[in-house]
Structure 1
Amino acid sequence: MRAAPVSATDTVTTSGLDVDALDVLESEAIHIIREVVAEFERPVLLFSGGKDSVVVLHLAAKAFWPARVPFPVLHVDTGHNFPEVIAFRDETVARLGLRLEVASVQDYLDDGRLHERADGTRNPLQTLPLLDAIAAGRHDAVFGGARRDEDKARAKERIISLRDEFGQWDPRNQRPELWDLYNGRHTVGQHVRAFPISNWTELDVWRYLEREAIALPPLYFAHEREVYRRDGMWRAVSEVSPVRPGETLETRTVRYRTVGDMSCTGAVESDAADVAAVVAEVATSTLTERGATRADDRISEAAMEDRKKDGYF
């Protein structure tokens, strides 16, 4: 059976040698990436510019260095993204010489294939553009930065997770992954989702970002911003998330733990202006980043699992 995931604060002893747990997690992730590239014909990496996808891309770059990353990156653009994150995405793609594929939710709204939700959030609308982009690119494996500690539904995922001909996920039909052997068997029309950092925690990610000196969008660090209080979160004022009657606009020093859509992502009050300060802050947190700052995950207890069953990441 698979050993229990290690934390980046642990030290692993192997054959009498002390190995930093981050090295173990990095080695596992690079092994997964190389295995998927060796086994599948047209992999792609979901890249939003968020910290988890940044880490997976960094791991992919290390896995194939000095050659380039041998697959494109895909972003499902809802049109509600933070401008700073889109700028970071484009800068990163250009720097690494990657091919960027973009699936636009706005295009689907414009031609009537999708319709705006009453609550204004577009995150749940990503599923159809994502599945269409996978089919159009004939991608048989899709890398993602999901981690088991983020959400109950994501905790059910295997590292290599099968999606059927409709892109759907069945949590009752999960394959065993014994001795780090990954079963990528699939038929025509099916594909897999691959999660190289599935066993990482939020703290592991931040300690790795610190060790590797990896750049991130500035939203992850403390800055002053006009915000208002809604659903227990500080929401940024913007065209897609305006202040409602009764809500008060304030200037606060905040940062973002996750950088999803402006319409559903909240900030947290924080003075953590660099990676070391964020590491210290995350180490004392008792809430995952999605639980603390993502309104779309609060729609119902099973909100994430319901979307994953439909094909969402």
Structure 2
Amino acid sequence: MTAAVDSGGPYALSHLDVLESEAVHIFREVAGEFERPVILFSGGKDSIVMLHLALKAFAPAAVPFSLLHVDTGHNFPEVIRHRDRLVAQHGLRLHVALVQEFIDDGRLRERPDGTRNPLQTVPLLDAIERNRFDAVFGGGRRDEEKARAKERVFSLRDEFGGWDPRRQRPELWQLYNGRHAPGEHVRVFPLSNWTELDVWQYIGREKIDLPEIYYAHEREVFRRSGMWLAPGEWGGPREGEPLERRTVRYRTVGDMSCTGAVDSEAATIEEIIAEIAASRLTERGATRADDKLSEAAMEDRKREGYF
């Protein structure tokens, strides 16, 4: 069998089949090793692909995990509508941790720039502890950002949710070690070895439905720090930041205050794939202001317990 795959014979798998098979194996491995896994689910493309893979992994049975969304309160409405539609369609259980609740009771304070993405860590860790989740699936990929490139597929987190690269374990031959002490948990990344291009090619092959903001559309935006941001209750635009109506799309989805759109005419999956293939910027590098706060912004947040 190995010889056939290596030689490109009749039983050879495509690279998408290999990635899918690896992700399905990871989901099943977690189901066998852990007691209370949960899937982080924002309604963005990576978490939707992750859910699609989980549905495949356990079909025709139901997915044996619930979903968890850390809601900043500054989400794109199209994404929230899509999230709720998928949850209802598949009869899933969704936990929502609201950043606003933590602001209201004083456990968190609003940032001067209005960005709430960095505020997600405390609600996330609270939800993990309160629900006793011992494995948390995330949609992070190694191609997104250099701190995420250091991640293992099984990423051990300490009792405070912190990530220490020195404590990560080798994963030779796709052997994953889920051992953890009481109070610790493991973040699991089934899409680690995927690229943005792989994700879109898989979406096209599997005909996966996504929120419409991933495709080119006309939208009111304003310019800040080299990015096109959407106006909203979070505090934009400021004086001197005029609104413009442009044809844009989003490569990644997060808090509206830090997720930029890109100028694009790509309205179909085929056009998006061609656009990504020609791009020299990662999706987070091009469109996420929260990753530009410092050279090590993502790694600092991961050490504190971020995704």
TM range (shorter): over 0.9
**Aligned position for 1:180:** 174
Contact 1:139 1:191 in 2 (8 A): yes
**Aligned position for 2:63:** 69
**Aligned position for 2:288:** 294
Alignment of 1:126-205 (within 5 A): 126-205=120-199
> 1:249 and 1:63 mapped to 2: Cα distance?
45
Is 1:80 the counterpart of 2:65? The answer is no
Contact 2:142 2:194 in 1 (8 A): yes
**Aligned position for 2:52:** 58
Q: CA deviation at 1:15?
A: 6.6
> 1:200 and 1:220 mapped to 2: Cα distance?
18
Q: TM-score, normalised by structure 2?
A: 0.97
Q: CA deviation at 1:244?
A: 1.6
Report the 3-state secondary structure (helix = DSSP H, G, I; strand = E; otherwise coil) of the residue aligned with 2:166: coil
> 2:222 and 2:201 mapped to 1: Cα distance?
31
**Aligned position for 1:115:** 109
> 1:241 and 1:117 mapped to 2: Cα distance?
11
**Matching residue within 254, 261, 270 for 2:264:** 270
**Aligned position for 1:3:** none
**Aligned position for 1:230:** 224
Name the Cα RMSD after superposition. Answer: 1.2
> 1:106 and 1:197 mapped to 2: Cα distance?
30
Q: CA deviation at 1:155?
A: 0.3
**Matching residue within 229, 232, 240 for 2:234:** 240
Deviations along 1:42-100, whole A, 9 cap, x unmatched? 00000000100001100000000011111100000000001111111100000010000
Q: CA deviation at 1:12?
A: 6.0
Residues 220 and 158 of structure 1, relative CA distance in 2, 3 Å threshold: same
Is 1:28 the counterpart of 2:17? The answer is no
**Aligned position for 1:8:** none
Contact 1:241 1:262 in 2 (8 A): no
**Matching residue within 246, 250, 269 for 2:244:** 250
> 1:219 and 1:264 mapped to 2: Cα distance?
15
Q: CA deviation at 1:248?
A: 2.1
Report the 3-state secondary structure (helix = DSSP H, G, I; strand = E; otherwise coil) of the residue aligned with 2:265: coil
Contact 1:12 1:20 in 2 (8 A): no
Q: CA deviation at 1:276?
A: 1.3
Contact 2:39 2:137 in 1 (8 A): yes
Residues 133 and 248 of structure 1, relative CA distance in 2, 3 Å threshold: same
Structure 2: 5+ residue stretches without partners: none
Q: TM-score, normalised by structure 1?
A: 0.95
Structure 1: 5+ residue stretches without partners: 1-10
Whichever residue aligns with residue 188 of structure 1, its letter is: P
Residues 311 and 83 of structure 1, relative CA distance in 2, 3 Å threshold: same
Report the 3-state secondary structure (helix = DSSP H, G, I; strand = E; otherwise coil) of the residue aligned with 1:129: helix
Is 1:217 the counterpart of 2:206? The answer is no
> 2:175 and 2:9 mapped to 1: Cα distance?
22
**Aligned position for 1:5:** none
Report the 3-state secondary structure (helix = DSSP H, G, I; strand = E; otherwise coil) of the residue aligned with 1:264: coil
Residues 107 and 27 of structure 1, relative CA distance in 2, 3 Å threshold: same
Deviations along 1:225-282, whole A, 9 cap, x unmatched? 0111111111112222422222221110000001111111100000111111111111
Contact 2:221 2:244 in 1 (8 A): yes
> 1:86 and 1:241 mapped to 2: Cα distance?
20
Whichever residue aligns with residue 163 of structure 2, its letter is: W
Whichever residue aligns with residue 73 of structure 1, its letter is: L
Whichever residue aligns with residue 312 of structure 1, its letter is: Y
**Number of residue pairs aligned between Structure 1 and Structure 2:** 303
Q: State the identity as a percent.
A: 71
Whichever residue aligns with residue 271 of structure 2, its letter is: A
> 1:227 and 1:281 mapped to 2: Cα distance?
21
> 2:305 and 2:188 mapped to 1: Cα distance?
14
Whichever residue aligns with residue 220 of structure 1, its letter is: Y
Whichever residue aligns with residue 235 of structure 1, its letter is: L
Report the 3-state secondary structure (helix = DSSP H, G, I; strand = E; otherwise coil) of the residue aligned with 1:266: coil
